Amino acid sequence: MEKIYNSKIKMITGFLCLIYAIYITAMQLMIIGDIFNFFFNINRVYPIILIGIILSLYSSYGGIKSVVITDFFQFLILAIIIPFISTLLVKHIGGYKTLFLSIPKEKFKIFKHDHFYYYLSYFLLWSIFPEKIVNPAFFQRILLAKNKKQLRDQFFISSVIRLIFGIVIMIISFCTFKIYSNVNPKIAFFSILKNILSPNIKILSIIALLSILMSTADSLLNSAGLIFTNDIIKPFTKKINLRYIRIATFILGIVSILISINCQHTTKLIINALKISIPILMFPLIAGIINLKVHKYSFYFGILGVIFTNICLEQIFNDTFKILIIPISIMINIICFMTVNLIRNNGIVFYKNNLEEKKLWIPSMKQIIFYLNKFFPTPKKIFNYSKSSVLNYGSNNILFGIFCCLNFTLPYFLWDHDNLKEFNLMTKMRIIGGIMAALLLIKNQWKDFLKKFYPLFWHITLIYCLPFITTMMLLLTKGAISWLINIGTSIFFLILLVNTEVFLIILPLGIGAAIFFYSFYIVFVRKQNHN
């Protein structure tokens, strides 16, 4: 931020990131206190102080090396215990089919959900807006990468792991609701661990929960100490060494302990941590990273917009809508920031190789239509993109064709044969998949005028045979565990067969098409049964 703007904005950034780190660390300590209070009936203050001091000591004296080592062991515990808990809970309630059939339909409400705006805000922050970019611990991990390739690979691996863990946590949540449908949601999972699991598994589960919390808290605490010394204290004195950083980290740990002891609501801490830092820092940082020509005045004007928005909406919104202040503030900051840039630059200007590139874009309806047309996926553009993708990455049509021909014709034992109509639909779908796979095997025998369509057919076959058909089979078998495993296998195959860009296009297309088709199929079946 100092390179993009100036040293004063560097200090503002450091101060906001420091608040973010302290508040999130305090939130983690609060949950640790709640765990000890629930399971061992210990006053939450004592474990907060004890764990907080331990975190402060090894984060300050061990530095980033100790954080990485402890995070590694904590991840191993997490990766083993959490999936194991989900398996035990599914077995306890009678399997996946029982699980998904027992969830009431009202639990799947979205727009009519009582807390729709609350979850909408978090969805926007974690899915649309890159909220993590202002997380100092996250950015510290980015700067630790050796090169771009390593960083890209780490992000891709992390995204796959997050997807798997997201599914596992969703299963645990459904199981918890099935077992304790009327219990307070805040203690439902704790109740599962306390009453359902055996004593040994319960202890391991508590360790896993503590590992999750500590692996986040120690990273934030370590980065907070560095921010405080380098971004806030260093401009006023040159006498900064490792001892100062250690002392600062330990003191900030004590501050986090005091905040967590004196606060009763974890949600308030999260909102307070996000409310100012993300709206002010997120877009100005992204603008600088993508080499947009920016000005310090655009940053300051964005701050005023965020503060004014927060003050006004705090008075207007009730508790239900207050969470929306964060995404609204982000949008206001973007508008204020870009308004100043458009005025000062007479459009949008980018830098290239540290030299100003005369690439001005003055907003007009004609240009907007031009850019929409440029990126709109017409049949010709899809065809050319598919062709270039296969040309650059290749296509393992023989191995994939053999696998699909065998997989779509032999394993009938995986199917649910109870419903004749669904069984017939499954059969037809799998025969189509087998035919498409067989056509891949005889690619060399295609007529010349058909060969130019091979790349497009290859990608359509991947969409149909992997995400589409496995999602359909999962829906038709009402969540059979065999087809849940098949979805994971399909994702793995897709990762091996295509590059990252094509993977990110094919996977949601296949899953979305399956859900869309299944919805129409269910409506059609219901109409027939009604008639």
Same domain, 307 and 396: no
Same domain, 194 and 102: yes
Q: Is residue 342 part of a domain?
A: no
pLDDT band at 298 (very low <50, low <70, confident <90, very high): very high
Same domain, 309 and 384: no
Same domain, 296 and 434: no
Q: Is residue 364 part of a domain?
A: no
Q: Is residue 386 part of a domain?
A: yes
> Which residues, 6+ apart, have CB-to-CB distance to 56 below 8 Å?
221, 249, 250, 252, 253, 254, 257
308/138 Cα distance (integer angstroms): 29
Same domain, 178 and 67: yes
Number of domains in the chain: 2
Task: Give percent of the chain above pLDDT 70.
Answer: 90
Which of the pair, 212 or 35, is modelled with greater confidence? Answer: 35
Q: Is residue 372 part of a domain?
A: no
| Residues 351-370, mean pLDDT to the nearest whole number | 60
- How high does pLDDT run on average in the chain? 81
Q: What is the 3-state secondary structure (H, E, C) of 313-348?
A: HHHHCCCCCHHHHHHHHHHHHHHHHHHHHHHHHCCE
Render pLDDT for 507-519 as a digit per residue (tens, 0 to 9): 889 998 988 888 8
415/287 Cα distance (integer angstroms): 51
> Which residues, 6+ apart, have CB-to-CB distance to 409 below 8 Å?
430, 434
Residue 397 has pLDDT above 50, yes or no: yes
Which of the pair, 411 or 310, is modelled with greater confidence? Answer: 310
Render pLDDT for 481-496 as a digit per residue (tens, 0 to 9): 667 777 777 887 888 8
Q: Is residue 63 part of a domain?
A: yes
Written as six digits, the tokens of 96 are 């996946």
pLDDT at 337: 93
Residue 347 has pLDDT above 90, yes or no: no
> Which residues, 6+ apart, have CB-to-CB distance to 86 below 8 Å?
168, 169, 171, 172, 175
Which of the pair, 527 or 499, is modelled with greater confidence? Answer: 499
Residue 371 has pLDDT above 80, yes or no: no
100, amino acid identity: F
pLDDT band at 413 (very low <50, low <70, confident <90, very high): very low
Render pLDDT for 162-176 as a digit per residue (tens, 0 to 9): 888 888 888 888 888
Task: Choose one of 308, 333, 358: the last residue of a domain.
Answer: 333
pTM for this prediction: 0.65
pLDDT at 13: 92
Q: Are 68 and 218 in contact (CB under 8 A)?
A: no
Same domain, 244 and 310: yes
- What is the chain's alpha carbon radius of gyration, rounded to the nearest angstrom? 27
CATH of the domain at 197: 1.20.1730.10
Residue 322 has pLDDT above 90, yes or no: no
Task: Give percent of the chain above pLDDT 90.
Answer: 12
Going through 304-450 in order, the beta strands assigned E by DSSP cover 351-352, 355-356
Query: 376: phi > 0 → left, psi -120 to 50 → alpha, else beta; which?
Result: beta
Phi, psi of 347 (to 5 degrees): 135, -155
Same domain, 425 and 494: yes
Render pLDDT for 165-219 as a digit per residue (tens, 0 to 9): 888 888 888 888 888 877 777 778 888 888 887 787 788 788 878 877 887 788 8
pLDDT at 96: 76
Q: Which residue is it, tokens 């600062």? A: 248
Q: Are 81 and 87 in contact (CB under 8 A)?
A: no
Per-residue burial over 147-181, b = 16 or more CB atoms within 10 Å of its CB, e = otherwise: eeeeeeeeeeeeeeeeeeeeebeebbbbbbbbbbe
| Residues 55-73, mean pLDDT to the nearest whole number | 77
Residue 459 is part of which domain span? 379-530
Q: Which residue is it, tokens 């605490």? A: 221
> CB neighbours (10 Å) of residue 522?
12
Task: Choose one of 278, 309, 333: the last residue of a domain.
Answer: 333
Q: Are 71 and 219 in contact (CB under 8 A)?
A: yes
371/374 Cα distance (integer angstroms): 5
Same domain, 280 and 390: no
Q: Does residue 292 sit in helix, strand or coil? A: strand
| Residues 281-297, mean pLDDT to the nearest whole number | 90
| Residues 94-110, mean pLDDT to the nearest whole number | 77
Same domain, 286 and 399: no
> Which residues, 6+ apart, have CB-to-CB distance to 124 below 8 Å?
327
479-486 long-range Cβ contacts below 8 angstroms, 24+ apart: 479/96, 479/97, 479/99, 479/100, 479/101, 480/96, 480/97, 480/414, 480/416, 481/90, 481/95, 481/96, 482/414, 483/414, 484/96, 484/167, 486/414
Q: Is residue 362 part of a domain?
A: no
- DSSP for 15-60, please give it: HHHHHHHHHHHHHHHHHHHHHHHHHH---THHHHHHHHHHHHHHHH
Same domain, 252 and 150: yes
Residue 121 has pLDDT above 70, yes or no: yes
Q: Is residue 12 part of a domain?
A: yes
pLDDT band at 435 (very low <50, low <70, confident <90, very high): confident
Name the most confidently modeled range: 10-24, 89-103, 122-136, 254-268: 10-24
Same domain, 216 and 128: yes
pLDDT at 168: 84
Which of the pair, 338 or 319, is modelled with greater confidence? Answer: 338
pLDDT at 353: 60
Q: Does residue 361 sit in helix, strand or coil? A: strand
pLDDT band at 323 (very low <50, low <70, confident <90, very high): confident
Written as six digits, the tokens of 483 are 């087809």
Q: Is residue 339 part of a domain?
A: no
pLDDT at 183: 73
Same domain, 96 and 239: yes
pLDDT band at 94 (very low <50, low <70, confident <90, very high): confident
Q: Are 361 and 348 in contact (CB under 8 A)?
A: yes
Q: Which residue is it, tokens 């056509």? A: 439
107/181 Cα distance (integer angstroms): 11
The conformation of residue 510, written as its DSSP 8-state character, comes to: H
Task: Choose one of 305, 333, 361: the last residue of a domain.
Answer: 333
Written as six digits, the tokens of 75 are 């991840």
